[in-house]
Amino acid sequence: MAMIEFKGKNFEIDEDGFLLKFEDWGPEWAEYVKESEGISEITEAHQQILDFLQDYYKKNGIAPMVRILSKSTGYKLKQIYELFPSGPGKGACKMAGLPKPTGCV
Amino acid sequence: MAKHATPMLDQLQSGPWPSFVSDIKEEAERRHKNVGNVEFQIPVDVCDDLLGILELSYKDGTTHWKHGGIVGVFGYGGGVIGRYCDQPEKFPGVAHFHTMRVNQPNGKYYTTEFLGKLCDLWEMRGSGLTNFHGATGDIVLLGTTTPQLEEIFHELTHNMNTDLGGSGSNLRTPACCLGESRCEWACYDTQELCYQMTLEYQDELHRPAFPYKFKFKFDGCPNGCVASIARSDMSFIGTWRDDIRIDQEAVAAYIGGEIQPNGGAHSGKDWGAFDIEKEVINLCPTECMWMEDGKLMINNRECTRCMHCLNVMPRALRIGNDRGLSILVGAKAPILDGAQMGSLLVPFIKVEEPYDAIKELIEGIWEWWMEEGKNRERLGELIKRQGLAKAISAVGLTPVPQHVMEPRHNPYIFWKEEDVEGGWDRDIADYRKHHQR
Ligand code: HEM
Ligand code: HEM
Ligand code: SF4
Ligand code: SF4
């Protein structure tokens, strides 16, 4: 596990670049992650998805299913990949500070 | 001299079966010698460290790979299985040891030219170790580092015209038996249907959109050489619906001992002379065969096309000419609620380009499962939870007796309100008019 520093903030991350503690999240985190996730600028659309993921995680303790993410934000999977080239798991969840997806990935 | 001592693994170099230990050692040696002057992109001693950490696991009796791993290539949500060892200081060569799934050709036929190119690519950018093939079907490239993933993907797609396979909650890589390419029992072109469905559903394969994983497998006949009935959520199994074609001369040749039964499959042991009564007629599960004046007769209406008689007398009995396939759904391993094999959904459908009818059935199932499936609920579990009748109506069919092995024995039978005269809205007062308290 590694510590990284960005814009004066410290984040503890794993090998895949996921935040170890959700509570450590800050807007700087999204800024830090974006490059490695192929994103040049965080637009309103990105932000909407990040906000939804965070609210959902706070309320339910899990990340939403892709279907729920699409239905709730109005973004089709195709659009989500346009925004987050690595997809909702590796791209959006990482940027939102959610824990790393698990299972038979 | 090997980097790590591997006394336990060394024992697996003896015995007659090809030893994976000897092979990995050979590759480790090759990398050290590097006769071809390859610019290795990951540690040269990756194979030594793999053997080292495996030896440690043999000693400890436990795995030394960390939990999970989320890596991949841009544009796709799967295809790479990330993996990190939990002793990176001792075994830096396998600190990153990701697996890439590469989509295999159907039936797994190759040219040495293709394999040579793939090996050159993997030798330079990976460990040089593979799995030919993963159980789902993929070519498995075993062990590389994160920075190499996009490089390999670029090479695969730009220079080899080859894509990644699937992983995650999506359509996984489809696979088929070798079908018509070299089997006289293939009831449809399994390779072609598998290929066409793989192409059609590339999006579903590369970008997980499902509640959970979903697999297709294509068997040319009920012998099930790709085991679709046990290993795919949607299993396509070839069959025919007209008569078995009988060559009576060849039947006589079998009886006369001129042709060995089962293609000679049991020649390693003396089972006595071939006895058609004992080995075929009395073993037919529906007892629909008999001999009459030295001729073999089959009551095809009662044949369940189990393949037994064809398997015993391949030169005398052949599949019918009116061919198609059955679709079975729901196979899965035990987690969560128990193992399942496929249940018959579509008894017979013709296999005709451009396969629209088959696509409609697939999409009908997906539409239902994508909407109703809970997180990480396989199709088979949704069928248990909501009922086979729902699956049947999801593909626009009506229930037929072939849908069940036997009717239910419990009477907990639901009725739709519209099917019951008067419906469910009842007033107790009306009832009381006739029945006092
Ligand atoms: C002519 C009279 C009756 C008929 C034709 C009748 C018929 C039935 C039938 C067909 C069932 C369903 C059987 C099953 O679940 O496998 C049933 C269940 C039941 N009957 Fe009757 N019954 C009669 C009288 C009674 C009486 C008088 C009682 C109680 C005082 C009673 C109590 C029950 C109970 C508790 C069950 C439910 C069993 C369960 O849920 O497993 N029945 N009856
Ligand atoms: C605290 C009291 C009771 C409890 C907790 C109870 C609970 C249950 C439960 C859980 C069932 C099964 C429901 C199902 O099929 O899913 C059932 C069925 C049934 N109970 Fe009771 N019960 C109680 C009292 C009674 C009494 C006093 C009677 C009759 C005088 C009765 C008659 C029945 C009958 C006939 C059924 C079967 C209904 C059917 O087959 O659809 N129960 N009960
Ligand atoms: S499943 Fe049937 S058609 Fe396919 S290879 Fe096996 S025997 Fe032949
Ligand atoms: S295929 Fe099976 S059921 Fe049909 S006739 Fe042959 S042995 Fe009997």
Instruction: Judge whether residue B1 has pLDDT over 70.
Output: no
What integer best gives the mean pLDDT of chain B?
A: 98
Predicted pLDDT at A104: 86
Q: Are B234 and B327 in contact (CB under 8 A)?
A: yes
**Strand segments (E) across A9-104:** 9-13
pLDDT in tens, B30-46: 999 999 999 999 999 99
> Are A90 and B81 in contact (CB < 8 Å)?
no
Show residues of chain A in contact with B169, CB under 8 Å: 66, 103
What confidence tier does B414 reach under pLDDT thresholds 50, 70, 90? very high
Tokens of B244: 């078995």
Instruction: Judge whether residue A105 has pLDDT over 90.
Output: no
SS3 content of chain B, % helix, strand, coil (to 5): 35, 15, 50
pLDDT in tens, B122-152: 999 999 999 999 999 999 999 999 999 999 9
Q: Measure in Å the smallest separation between the Cα of A9 and chain B Cα atoms.
A: 24
Predicted pLDDT at A34: 95
Show residues of chain A in contact with B209, CB under 8 Å: 66-67, 77
pLDDT in tens, A5-35: 999 999 999 999 999 999 999 999 999 999 9
Percent of chain B with pLDDT over 90: 100
pLDDT in tens, B275-301: 999 999 999 999 999 999 999 999 999
What gap in Å lies between CA A59 and CA B42, rounded to an integer?
42
Question: What is the sign, positive or negative, of the torsion defined by CA atoms of B35, B36, B37, B41?
Answer: negative
Q: If you measure from the C-alpha of residue B425 to the centroid of ligand 2, how many angstroms do you get, rounded to a whole number?
A: 22
Cβ atoms within 10 Å of B6's Cβ, excluding its own: 21
Q: CA angle B50-B51-B54, nearest 5°?
A: 85
Complex-level ipTM? 0.91
What gap in Å lies between CA B35 and CA B48, rounded to an integer?
18
pTM for this model (two decimals)? 0.88
Q: If you measure from the C-alpha of residue B176 to the centroid of ligand 1, how many angstroms do you get, rounded to a whole number?
A: 51
What gap in Å lies between CA B142 and CA B99, rounded to an integer?
5
Predicted pLDDT at B210: 97
Q: Select the more confidently predicted residue: A103 or B186.
A: B186
Across the range A66-93, mean pLDDT stands at 96
Instruction: Judge whether residue A1 has pLDDT over 90.
Output: no
Q: Count Cα atoms within 13 angstroms, Cβ side, for B258.
A: 8
Instruction: Judge whether residue B396 has pLDDT over 80.
Output: yes
Ramachandran assignment for B15, one of left (phi > 0), alpha (psi -120 to 50 degrees), beta (any other): left
* Ligand 4 pocket, residue B119 CB under 6 Å: no
